[in-house]
């Protein structure tokens, strides 16, 4: 009974989403134009189905009309497969908010699979096939069977649907590449380059087996569709966020060594696991994360050409290296993904705990990067070791504090699956001022370093390192201040993070 009520609720929410969609909120004129274009497309397909017999007779005068059509059937559904690859969407994003509720993930993935069959891509070819098959049925062409042919075409479309759904849900990329290669080689290679006559001959024989009502052909296609759908169910469940901090989760949920490693860390481990998922499962964050190590060779080049006299003046540039990945990512500390906060909010987790865990995570990333670079620093320019260590403290201290405190007020979230380069999305005047403050914050250190009775490089390193150490030592105070700022206008900020 509860399962049926859940299904009704999901169906109701899907209908509300459709009625409230932005394209249905357009003006009446826009709606009329959209409806007219859809009707025109259906009408063209219908008229093509009526005139298709005469067209085939003109192109293939020496061949039976049905044989001509069925020789081209694989071409038709190869084009349908290609269309689906670019246009068929998986209704997954709308289901993710339900992952924080006590609903079976198996049920949710089954609902997505069942709902996907309502796609217009599963029915649009019927506007072409029904009038054509009715015309050919009226001609009484002997072995032709209207219902067998219609069922065959529907099953071929269903097979395309199952293939695309599996390709877009299965997490193992090698299986996807293998299947995609087979489809490309068969359809494009055999049908377009190697032997078109053989391709058309295969298409004709498969179609005749369908028309004759051969049960093994129908059973083979149906079993293949079922197998692909079952694999899609598994792939969907694996793609859902599975977090060790979820209530009722008694076993470790990591799917790779890093996630399993984080699961074994007490206190902050489950939040680090979630942070790792946030970075590695979103295109934009993941690309930046994998590209950031490329900055290490650039730093090595700078160290090679830098002297102790010029190093202090290069401190603002070196700050970008010492902050590691967090220097970039934390500019959007609260703007990456709204579901991240929905999940944490549903667990009644204190905001200060979440900020503390994120802070420790990116401090550790900066330390790991520094350890990787340490042999190069000692080998190339050991005189700059204290300066770089001081800047590491400075970035992970006051700079990270500024990013966390100001990041709460970012106006919108950025698309986690958008492009990384030449993308102005998420940029704002507030962020520009924040970045400007980061680089200007080092100016007082420049000024005060003159007053110390040490060399300028040593004085600057000492002041920058001490400032950073103080902020790191008292990090809980400024984290509480950032959390308090969030809590004062939580609903306003959450609404901003969900904007697009």
pLDDT digits (tens, 9 = 90+) for 85-119: 778 877 665 676 677 677 777 888 888 888 888 88
Task: Assign 174 a pLDDT band (cuts: 50, 70, 90).
Answer: low
Contact between 397 and 470 under an 8 Å Cβ cutoff? The reply is yes
Instruction: Say how far apart CA 39 and CA 22 lie, in whole Å.
Output: 21
Q: Is the predicted pLDDT of residue 53 greater than 70, yes or no?
A: yes
**Exposure on the CB side of residue 285, measured as CA atoms within 13 A:** 22
- What's the per-residue H, E or C state across 99-167? HHCCCCHHHHHHHHHHHHCCCHHHCCCHHHHHHHHHHHHHHCCCCCCHHHHHHHHHHHHHHHHHHHHHH
Residue 466's pLDDT is what? 92
Task: Assign 58 a pLDDT band (cuts: 50, 70, 90).
Answer: confident
Those residues with Cβ within 8 angstroms of residue 171's Cβ, 6 or more apart along the chain or in another chain: 235, 238, 239
Containing 473, the helix (H) or strand (E) segment is: helix 456-473
Q: Is the predicted pLDDT of residue 420 greater than 60, yes or no?
A: no
pLDDT digits (tens, 9 = 90+) for 354-403: 889 889 999 998 998 888 888 888 888 888 888 889 999 999 999 999 88
Distance, C-alpha 184 to centroid of its chain: 25
Give the DSSP letter of residue 45. H
Q: Is the predicted pLDDT of residue 77 greater than 80, yes or no?
A: yes
Question: CA quadruple 199, 200, 203, 204: dihedral positive or negative?
Answer: negative
The average confidence (pLDDT) of the chain is 78
Q: Residue 349: which of 274, 413, 404 has the closest Cα?
A: 274
As a whole number of Å, the CA-based R_g of the chain is 30
Instruction: Say how far apart CA 6 and CA 113 lie, in whole Å.
Output: 16
pTM as predicted: 0.56
Indicate the Cα dihedral angle 315, 317, 320, 322, nearest 10°.
Answer: -40
Those residues with Cβ within 8 angstroms of residue 170's Cβ, 6 or more apart along the chain or in another chain: 176, 231, 232, 234, 235
pLDDT digits (tens, 9 = 90+) for 200-225: 888 888 888 887 777 888 888 899 99
Instruction: Say how far apart CA 161 and CA 119 lie, in whole Å.
Output: 9
Q: Quote the tokens at residue 67.
A: 């044989």
Residue 242's pLDDT is what? 61
pLDDT digits (tens, 9 = 90+) for 248-268: 444 445 566 777 787 778 778
Cβ atoms < 10 Å from Cβ of 116: 22
């Amino acid at each position: 009974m509860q399962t049926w009520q859940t299904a009704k609720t999901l169906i109701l929410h899907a209908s509300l989403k459709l009625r409230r969609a932005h394209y249905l909120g357009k003006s009446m004129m826009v709606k009329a134009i959209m409806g007219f274009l859809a009707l025109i497309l259906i009408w063209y397909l219908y008229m093509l189905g009526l005139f298709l017999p005469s067209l085939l007779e003109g192109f293939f005068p020496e061949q039976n009309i049905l044989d001509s059509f069925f020789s081209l059937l694989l071409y038709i559904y190869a084009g349908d497969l290609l269309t689906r690859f670019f246009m068929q969407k998986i209704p997954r994003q709308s289901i993710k908010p339900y992952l924080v509720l006590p609903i079976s993930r198996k049920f949710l993935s089954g609902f997505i699979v069942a709902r996907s069959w309502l796609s217009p891509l599963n029915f649009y070819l019927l506007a072409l096939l029904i009038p054509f098959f009715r015309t050919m049925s009226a001609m009484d062409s002997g072995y032709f069977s209207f219902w067998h042919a219609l069922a065959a075409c529907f099953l071929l479309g269903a097979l395309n649907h199952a293939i695309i759904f599996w390709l877009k849900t299965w997490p193992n990329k090698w299986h996807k590449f293998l299947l995609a290669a087979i489809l490309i080689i068969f359809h494009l290679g055999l049908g377009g380059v190697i032997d078109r006559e053989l391709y058309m001959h295969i298409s004709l024989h498969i179609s005749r087996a369908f028309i004759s009502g051969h049960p093994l052909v129908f059973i083979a296609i149906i079993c293949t569709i079922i197998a692909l759908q079952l694999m899609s169910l598994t792939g969907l469940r694996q793609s859902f966020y599975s977090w060790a901090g979820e209530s009722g989760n008694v076993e470790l949920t990591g799917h790779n060594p890093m996630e399993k490693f984080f699961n074994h860390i007490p206190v902050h481990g489950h939040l680090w696991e979630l942070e790792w998922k946030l970075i590695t499962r979103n295109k934009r964050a993941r690309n930046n994360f994998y590209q950031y190590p490329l900055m290490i060779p650039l730093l090595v080049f700078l160290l090679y050409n830098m002297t102790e006299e010029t190093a202090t003046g290069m401190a603002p540039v070196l700050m970008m290296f010492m902050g590691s990945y967090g220097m970039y990512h934390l500019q959007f500390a609260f703007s990456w993904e709204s579901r991240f906060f929905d999940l944490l909010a549903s667990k009644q987790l204190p905001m200060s705990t979440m900020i503390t865990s994120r802070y420790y995570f990116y401090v550790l990333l900066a330390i790991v990067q520094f350890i990787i670079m340490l042999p190069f620093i000692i080998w190339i320019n050991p005189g700059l070791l204290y300066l770089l260590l001081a800047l590491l403290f400075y970035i992970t201290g006051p700079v990270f504090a500024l990013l966390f405190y100001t990041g709460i007020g970012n106006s919108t979230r950025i698309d986690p699956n958008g492009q990384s380069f030449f993308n102005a999305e998420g940029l704002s005047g507030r962020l520009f001022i924040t970045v400007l403050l980061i680089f200007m914050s080092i100016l007082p250190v420049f000024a005060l370093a003159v007053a110390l009775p040490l060399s300028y490089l040593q004085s600057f390193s000492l002041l920058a390192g001490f400032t950073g150490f103080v902020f790191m030592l008292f990090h809980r105070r400024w984290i509480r201040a950032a959390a308090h700022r969030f809590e004062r206008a939580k609903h306003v900020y959450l609404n901003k993070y969900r904007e697009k």
